[in-house]
Each structure stands twice: as structure tokens, then as C-alpha cells.
Structure 1
Amino acid sequence: MLKEGIPRHTQISEWLRSRIDESHYEADEKLPSENELCDKFDVSRVTVRRALQTLENEDLIYRCQGLGSFVTDHRSHHSFSTLNDFSEELAESGMKASSEVVSFTQKDIAGQHDILSSLEMQNKSLAVEIERIRLGDGQPIAFDSTWLPIFYGQLIEGYDLRHQTIFTILEEEFEIPIERGCYRIEAALANKKLATHLQINIHAPVLLITRISYTVGNKPVYYQQRYYRNDKMVFEMMADRTSASSSTQKENNITLKEFTPVFKEEK
């Protein structure tokens, strides 16, 4: 089946690429195993792995250890184990990030104890609230509400939040680095307001990520709730399991290695 004069791994990768292009393998469908490919083409596992590596480098497939190789959905990855802003999240996807500012106001949040506690606003209740629709190539991907103590809110007031992020303004204009983030991820349903801004149905499922971002000295800068359209993004996680005997906390021996947001493209 393989021709002379052309590297075997190249021919195997081209065969798999053509099968993917012709939709013989759909998005997220598992490819033949390494053993099956070895038998089919009568080659070594090293040759097969080299062919698969070529396709992985081209973002045509992704591989999960112990499970096999799968067809991608033309999605771009970036590491969520590193703290990034929205523009950085979209950078590798090839999409242009922008925002539509819905509101920028000062609000009394006396009754929102979770926000006050997270921002360490003891004896204070006035905060800056910013609502934005986050866009990729002009299409709504997420909607977020961000609360900042008045000090930080006043610093970014007047800047163009349509094309600049809070991260960028604070770090580049005021030399206030964002050093750490704490995340909570949960499922939610879109209310009328979210549905309107994200152009989805009321009660459609969305992914809610709550984040607290900190600067030097572990000082909280903002509290944010971002709602992602579930047809635009998913998360993939990779974790390492360490042996219980080598862990000082035997009940907690799963180490997060990578947590990746994956932006989906329209088919």
C-alpha cells in the first residue's frame, strides 16, 4: 500500500489527513489505534507515532494518553494553568478579541457579601461594576460582570475597554501586576439578560467562571463572573496521578497539569 521513495510516516499522515478531510472521521472521533495502523501499513510503532505527531502539530488531531488519538474540531488551545485575560485566551485561536461595554457604574453592593468578602472590602460597600459582552471576530462568546474597589475602578475609568483589557491597563499603564487568580467553575442557565447579550435562548446552558484576581501582596483587584456560550467553548483538563505513598496528603493525590479552554469555530 505504501510507495517507495516517500517516507512511510509521511504517507501515513497523508492518508489519515485525507480521511479526516473527507469526513471519514468526524470531530472528536477516535482514530485507529497505533497497533491497528502498524498492522494496516506493516510499519513500526515509531513510524506511526511520527505520523500522528505530524497531525498533532497541524492541530488536526489531539492525543490523550491511554485513550488514543482523536480528530479536533478546528479548535485552538491555550493553557489555563497560566493566568490570562480574554485577549490572550483568543490569541492562539486566530480570532480578534474585542468587547462591547454595557455599563460602567459605581454601585452600592452592601448586600452582596460574597463580593465584599472576596475583595476584602471591610466597612466599605461602594464598588465599580463593569458589564461587557466579550466578542471573538465580532460574535458574542461570553458576558461578564466585574467588580473592583473604587481605587482600581477609578484608575481604568476613561480607557477604551472595547479594545483594552483590565489586565493590560493596570499592568502597562499603572505597573500593577496581576499575579494570581482563583477560579470557580459551574454550570448555569441563561436568564433573559444573558440570553439577549449572548444571542442564545432563555434557559440555555452556559458555563459560569467566577474569578478573583490578585496583585502583589495577595491583594484582590477584582471579582468577576463570566458566562461563556457552551457552543463556543469547552474546557479540557489534564491531571497527573501521583502515588499515594509519595504524597504527604494521601487523600489528595491528583495534580492538575493543564486546564485548557478550547474555542469552537463555526462549521
Structure 2
Amino acid sequence: MLSQAIGALQKEQATPLYLQLQKVLREAIAGELVKSDEAIPTERDLAEHFDVSRITVRKALEGLVSEGLLSRRRGAGTFVVGGRVEKSFSKLSSFSEDMQLRGRTPSSTWVSRTAGAVTPEEALSLGLSPGSQVYRFHRIRYADGISMALEYSTVPGFCLTSETVVQESLYEALGQAGFRPVRALQRLRAVAFTPEQAQALGVEAGQPGLFIERRSFLADGRTTEFTQSYYRGDAYDLVAELNDL
């Protein structure tokens, strides 16, 4: 058992028990007594093993979730967070390319792939005239089978022959059609996942995430992509290289 592997808490010490429990769990994670993406024992089991209240256990786990060491998955339990992914803002690349570059296997669950007339918001973002055709792609993105992000992409109709040509990588499909973007503008902000978003990603409602909006352009200035993504905050680090030029 985990408690046997890392010992008991020192109840005679002045340090609060929840902080002691956080410390031993943190050390267990660092020492790989509990592996990445592995579930830790339930609150009830931890309370019994360490002879503390479930309130103490819950407070300890909430702190480790806030630190990004643990993640709660709806209906599955509490898991050790896997290796975080660094996303560079200095290079224009797709989700699939990012994952493959890091030796991870990208995959998707399609929520929808549709064609239709552009909405006013899409027309403004893509620089299209009213009535223009667009393709919309909504999916859940995974790395090594672990949910990473919700993705909503809209592409002008002139960029693709059909919505079905996009299988795994949108940028691969755009490249094959001769419309891969060469530059992009991105903005991001912190968000808390709604119950619907959390359910799709298998995390707790209210868990922090990163919202990234991207508009990508061709060399001639036409917009070729408008994507809004919601990334898990416990799995992603965004990196930007700065200089004084």
C-alpha cells in the first residue's frame, strides 16, 4: 500500500496533518512511487491508511491539484499529472506536429465536421463576405490517449474541397491543398472549465484551463484558419522567446 511505502504521519509534530500528507504525497510522486497518469488511492482509503479525517485528505489533495501535481477526472478518481507539454509561441505548428515532436501520439475524437454558410462572427474573423461557405471542425484532442484540449476550427471554403479531407491534422490537409498558413496571430487568457467542457475532457468543472484563439494567414494576407482551443491548464506550459531587437 502507498502508506506502507512512504510511512506514517507524525501526529506529535506541530505541522498540520494536511501539510504533512501533502509532503509525503509530493515526495511519493517525485520518487515515482506513484507513476504519471496513475490513479492515487481514494480519499477514503488514504484517510484509513494515514488515520486522518477525509476532510484532512481532501484539503491535502486540493492543494496538490492547485500545484498541478494531481488532476481530478470525473467519475474516475484523482490522478498524477503526466509530463506537461510545452507549446512554443515562436513557431507556427499544429497540435499533431507539437505532439509528434515530443514523441507523443496525437489523436482526436470528432464531435462534428460540417459545412455551411459563414456566420457574422466567422465572416469578421476570416475576412469573408456574407454567404461564403466555411468548414467547421469540433473535436477533442489527445496525446497518448490523454485528453489535452477542446478545439473549434473554422476554415474558408476555398481552402478545402470537403470537410471530410481533414482526418488527423488540419494543417496537413491545408498543406496538401496548397493553403497551409505561414503566419498567425494568437491571444490567450485563463479560463475555468464549464461543466460541459469539463465533462468532455474528463476533468472537474471549474478546473483552470487556457483559452487560445488563433487566426492564421496565407502569404498573400488571406485568412485561412480561425481556431478557438481550450487547453487543460494542468498539462500545458506556453513558452515565448523574447529579445530586444
TM-score tier by shorter-chain length is: 0.5 to 0.7
Displacement after TM superposition at 1:201 (Å):
1.8
Q: Runs of 5+ in structure 1 lacking a partner?
A: 1-19, 25-72, 243-254, 256-267
CA contact (8 A) 1:185 1:207 kept: yes
**Alignment of structure 1 residues 137-216 onto 2, 5 Å:** 137-152=144-159, 154-159=160-165, 161=167, 164-171=168-175, 173-216=176-219
Structure 1 residue corresponding to 2:102, chosen from 83, 86, 93: 93
CA distance in 1, matches of 2:101, 2:158: 33
User: CA, structure 1 residues 76+211, in 2 after alignment: closer, same or farther (shift >3 Å)?
Assistant: closer
CA contact (8 A) 2:193 2:209 kept: yes
Letter in structure 2 aligned against 1:169: A
Secondary structure of the residue aligned to 1:168 is: helix
CA distance in 2, matches of 1:146, 1:76: 21
Displacement after TM superposition at 1:74 (Å):
5.4
Q: For 1:89-108, what per-residue CA distance to the aligned partner results, in whole angstroms no more than 9, with x for missing partners? A: 11232210111111011344
**Alignment of structure 1 residues 5-154 onto 2, 5 Å:** 75=84, 77=86, 79-110=88-119, 112-113=120-121, 115-124=122-131, 126-152=133-159, 154=160
Aligned Cα RMSD in Å? 2.7
Q: For 1:6-55, what per-residue CA distance to the aligned partner results, in whole angstroms no more than 9, with x for missing partners? A: xxxxxxxxxxxxxx9x959xxxxxxxxxxxxxxxxxxxxxxxxxxxxxxx
Letter in structure 2 aligned against 1:170: L
Secondary structure of the residue aligned to 1:217 is: coil
TM-score by length of 2: 0.61
CA contact (8 A) 1:76 1:92 kept: no
Displacement after TM superposition at 1:237 (Å):
3.3
User: CA, structure 1 residues 76+85, in 2 after alignment: closer, same or farther (shift >3 Å)?
Assistant: same
Aligned residues: 169
CA distance in 2, matches of 1:76, 1:208: 15
Displacement after TM superposition at 1:150 (Å):
2.4
Secondary structure of the residue aligned to 2:165 is: coil
Secondary structure of the residue aligned to 1:158 is: helix
**Alignment of structure 1 residues 248-263 onto 2, 5 Å:** none
Q: For 1:138-180, what per-residue CA distance to the aligned partner results, in whole angstroms no more than 9, with x for missing partners? A: 111011001122233x42522352xx31111121x22223211
Letter in structure 2 aligned against 1:193: E
CA distance in 1, matches of 2:162, 2:234: 32
CA distance in 1, matches of 2:230, 2:218: 24
Larger Rg: 1
